[in-house]
């Protein structure tokens, strides 16, 4: 890119700044990025880019730009202050140490440097608020009244103190807290805001106001208060936990975990921290760590609260500890029969175990105790076939329009309504809700298909020079898992259910462990967008580690199925690690396959391409590209199943499938729907029904609605024009 002239930089910076001020951060960051690419010595562009990446909680990028900015303008206090904010919000110990080392020699006024250093030193765990001249004994008296729950008395005493000491932010904070706990919302909020106006650097007041705003149902405003509290006191444990809880709820569990680990490193060890850790690890699919954190919460509360036990049960269910999970759900419900997380959690567990009747009772209870919980309705509808006149449809339609419903709940409800309308053949209204639900998901979880193109291109490049048939790895395991892979919603769960109905096979479900480990062998740990050829010495270890993992999860199992979608990306590598492994690739008409994807909401942070029709079609093209890559090199290493052929000729195709897996025929494989094993995918209901052709060519009902996807598929040559 050519260098910009001075006037061009000023003009581009002005446009980016206008977008920044208007809240259009994506446009702004593109503008600042263009300036930096053309002239990397524009400190203002680095500074503003750092601020945006801080707002987006993308701290590695923020730190990069702040480093560049201070190298260009080392005496600019605003840059150091913004860098300190980013460090407070998202730095681990190493990044914090780097910042403090750089700050030590910064050519800024001594008082500014000391103030920033104190954030990470003397005032790390809490600030010293303005007291307005109040004596220590009076302060202690006020705080003791709050701690002992004597709110009316605390209100009177704080009001009296403020008449003598109107500049006491501390007394205002106590007054606000006392008012809030007595349900006096308006005066409480006014007192919190006045405390902050009197002392803008009072971290505890920001944190307390944030907690008040959460109780008032204003989470976005609350998160801003928690962010400010953590910026002012990076070690203030309640604020760290509160901000982390907000971030996890907003789909940023990794950023939350950084804050929670900082709180724990500072000595925090309390039930709220355990709950927050459990939630963050659960969202990150670190279920064993979630279980450990919540077990610590049980220990600290001497047996567990209803909430802790319900969250523990959720983690245990994902670990396959269904008996322990069910017992803990029941313990939680015995303490609080109307706790939504326990009611909904047990319903989901019953659903995965095939007890749809028991699950329905709890789901319907959830409709009453948590009426705007869209996730509850979406989960229920997965195993409920709506009929004309079904009252649940009208219930969902009414609640969908409720202005109090959050965007996340409206998104979940939209998917549920679309499925119910399709059940009753009201096809004309399906896409109104389906498009809105997908648009909400795309807004909450932006996705760039360019990253997928780069991933596939690099993966192919890394594997290009391997002599797949000629390579022999010493010391590999004899373990012989059966991997079922393909696009989501292509029939992979059905295929796994068929194979797992064989007496020698245990269905392990969508584990993901082997695919992740294979990915780790070729990805650069320091730069997740770069790959390198696999180390042949490490390949045998991949197989042995997976065998040990399965041995712990499914002790005594002879053969297992692993239905991990992404395995096709690393098929050759996994085969080298486990020469006896079998691979089944499931194919389906892309029009039906992609429609089925578009109709569903996937687990958080997975399949983010799924919520835009054109991206869906482009992603499908990359799947075909990878399968073609392996077919050209190792066609004998995998077996392909065409979904439409299977449902048209179940016995013939099932016999071929079982033979391809190296198994002798058993009639039970044709009665797969009677298999009682646990199923945790979106096909939880379908795989317990006999094979039908009901979903073949379903796309034709929605041809107009699917125009963007169909156009892209035709353009890329995947369907006839």
178-213 pLDDT, tens digit per residue, is 999 999 999 999 999 999 999 999 999 999 999 999
b/e code 131-165 from CB counts within 10 Å (16+ = b): bbebeeebbeebeebbeeeebeebbebbeebbeeb
User: Are 226 and 291 found together in one domain?
Assistant: no
Point out the domain boundary residue: 202, 234, 266.
234
Same domain, 438 and 453: no
pLDDT at 685: 46
| Tens of pLDDT, residues 569-588 | 999 999 999 999 999 999 99
In a domain, 246, yes or no: no
Q: Say which CATH number the domain at 176 has.
A: 1.25.40.10
pLDDT digits (tens, 9 = 90+) for 493-548: 889 989 989 999 988 888 888 988 998 888 866 555 577 777 777 899 999 999 99
Three-point CA angle 702, 441, 342, nearest 5°: 110
- How many residues make up the chain in this entry? 721
Q: Are residues 660 and 537 in the same domain?
A: yes
Domain check: are 491 and 617 in the same one?
yes
Are residues 467 and 399 part of one domain? no
- 613 plus 505 within the same structural domain: yes
Burial class (CB in 10 A: 0-12, 13-18, 19+), 167: middle
Rounded (to 5) percent helix, strand, coil in the chain: 65, 5, 30
Q: What's the structural domain count of the chain?
A: 4
- Give the mean model confidence (pLDDT) for residues 50-56: 93
Are residue 595 and residue 688 in the same domain, yes or no? yes
Tell me whether residue 527 is in a domain.
Answer: yes
Q: Is 316 left (phi over 0), alpha (psi -120 to 50) or beta?
A: alpha
Q: Is position 257 within any domain? A: no
Q: Are 316 and 457 within one domain?
A: no
Question: Would you say residue 695 lies in a domain?
Answer: yes
Q: Is 299 a domain residue?
A: yes
Q: Is residue 213 part of a domain?
A: yes
Q: Are residues 350 and 392 in the same domain?
A: yes
pLDDT per residue as tens digits for the range 282-304: 988 899 999 999 999 999 999 99
Q: Residues 300, 433: one domain?
A: yes
What is the rounded average pLDDT of the residues 579-600? 95
| 584 belongs to a structural domain | yes
Return the H-helix or E-strand segment holding 528.
Answer: strand 527-531
What range defines the domain where residue 284 resides?
274-444
Rounded to two decimals, the pTM is 0.77
Task: State residue 484 phi and psi, 5-degree precision.
Answer: -110, 120
- For position 84, what pLDDT does the model report? 95
Question: Is 258 domain-assigned?
Answer: no
* pLDDT tier for residue 676 given thresholds of 50, 70 and 90: low
Round the CA-based radius of gyration of the chain to a whole number and report it: 28
């Amino acid at each position: 890119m050519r260098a910009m002239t001075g006037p061009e930089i000023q003009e581009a910076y002005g446009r980016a700044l206008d977008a920044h001020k208007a809240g259009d951060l994506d446009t702004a960051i593109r503008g600042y990025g263009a300036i930096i690419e053309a002239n990397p010595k524009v400190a203002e562009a680095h500074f503003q880019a750092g601020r945006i990446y801080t707002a987006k909680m993308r701290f590695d990028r923020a730190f990069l730009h702040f480093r560049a900015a201070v190298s260009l303008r080392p005496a600019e206090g605003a840059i150091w202050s913004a860098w300190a904010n980013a460090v407070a919000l998202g730095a681990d110990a190493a990044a914090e140490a780097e910042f403090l080392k750089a700050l030590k020699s910064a050519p800024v006024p001594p008082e500014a440097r000391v103030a920033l250093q104190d954030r990470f030193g003397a005032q790390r765990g809490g600030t010293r608020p303005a007291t307005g001249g109040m004596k220590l004994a009076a302060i202690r008296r006020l705080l003791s009244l709050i701690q002992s729950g004597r709110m009316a008395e605390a209100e009177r005493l704080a009001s009296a103190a403020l008449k003598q000491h109107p500049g006491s932010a501390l007394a205002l904070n106590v007054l606000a807290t006392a008012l809030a706990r007595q349900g006096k919302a308006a005066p409480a909020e006014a007192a919190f805001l006045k405390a902050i106006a009197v002392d803008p650097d009072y971290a505890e007041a920001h944190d307390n106001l944030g907690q008040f705003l959460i109780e008032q149902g204003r989470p976005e405003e609350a998160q801003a208060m928690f962010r400010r509290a953590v910026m002012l006191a990076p070690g203030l444990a309640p604020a760290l936990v509160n901000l982390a809880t907000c971030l996890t709820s907003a789909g940023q569990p990794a950023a939350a975990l950084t804050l929670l680990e900082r709180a724990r490193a500072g000595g925090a060890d309390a039930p709220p921290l355990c709950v927050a850790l459990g939630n963050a690890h659960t969202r990150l699919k670190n279920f064993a760590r979630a279980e450990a954190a919540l077990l610590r919460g049980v220990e600290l509360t001497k047996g567990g609260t209803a909430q802790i036990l319900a969250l523990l049960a959720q983690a245990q269910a994902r670990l396959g500890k269904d008996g322990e999970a069910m017992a803990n759900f029941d313990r939680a419900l015995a303490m609080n029969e109307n706790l939504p997380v326990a009611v909904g959690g047990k319903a989901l567990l019953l659903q995965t175990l095939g007890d749809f009747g028991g699950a329905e009772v709890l789901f319907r209870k959830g409709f009453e105790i948590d009426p705007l919980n869209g996730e509850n309705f979406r989960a229920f509808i997965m195993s409920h076939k709506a009929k004309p006149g079904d009252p649940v449809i009208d219930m969902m339609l009414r609640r969908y329009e409720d202005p109090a419903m959050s965007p996340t709940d409206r998104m979940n409800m939209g998917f549920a309504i679309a499925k119910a309308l399709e059940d009753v053949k009201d096809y004309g209204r399906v896409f109104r809700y389906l498009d809105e639900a997908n648009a909400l998901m795309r807004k909450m979880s932006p996705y760039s298909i360019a990253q997928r193109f780069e991933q596939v291109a690099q993966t192919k490049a890394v594997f290009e020079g391997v002599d797949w048939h000629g390579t022999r790895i010493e010391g590999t395991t004899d373990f012989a898992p059966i991997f079922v892979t393909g696009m989501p919603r292509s029939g992979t769960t059905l295929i796994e259910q068929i194979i797992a109905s064989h007496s020698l096979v245990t269905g392990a479900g969508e584990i993901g462990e082997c695919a992740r480990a294979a990915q780790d062998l070729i990805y650069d740990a320091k730069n997740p967008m770069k790959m390198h050829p696999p180390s042949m010495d490490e390949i045998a270890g991949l197989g042995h580690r997976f065998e040990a993992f399965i041995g712990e999860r499914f002790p005594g199992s002879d053969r297992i199925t692993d239905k991990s979608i992404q395995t096709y990306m690393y098929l050759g590598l996994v085969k080298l690690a486990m020469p006896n492994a079998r691979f089944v690739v499931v194919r389906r008409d892309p029009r039906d396959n992609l429609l089925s994807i578009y109709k569903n909401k996937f687990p958080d942070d997975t399949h983010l391409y799924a919520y835009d029709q054109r991206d869906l079609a482009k992603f499908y093209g990359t799947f075909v590209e990878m399968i073609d890559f392996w077919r050209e090199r190792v066609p004998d290493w995998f077996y392909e199943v065409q979904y439409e052929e299977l449902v048209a000729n179940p016995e013939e195709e099932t016999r071929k499938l079982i033979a391809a897996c190296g198994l002798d025929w058993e009639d039970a494989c044709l009665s797969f729907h009677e298999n009682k094993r646990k199923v945790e995918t979106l096909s939880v209901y379908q795989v317990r029904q006999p094979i039908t052709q009901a979903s073949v060519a379903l796309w034709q009902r929605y041809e107009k609605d699917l125009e963007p996807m169909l156009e892209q598929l035709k353009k890329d040559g995947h369907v006839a024009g």
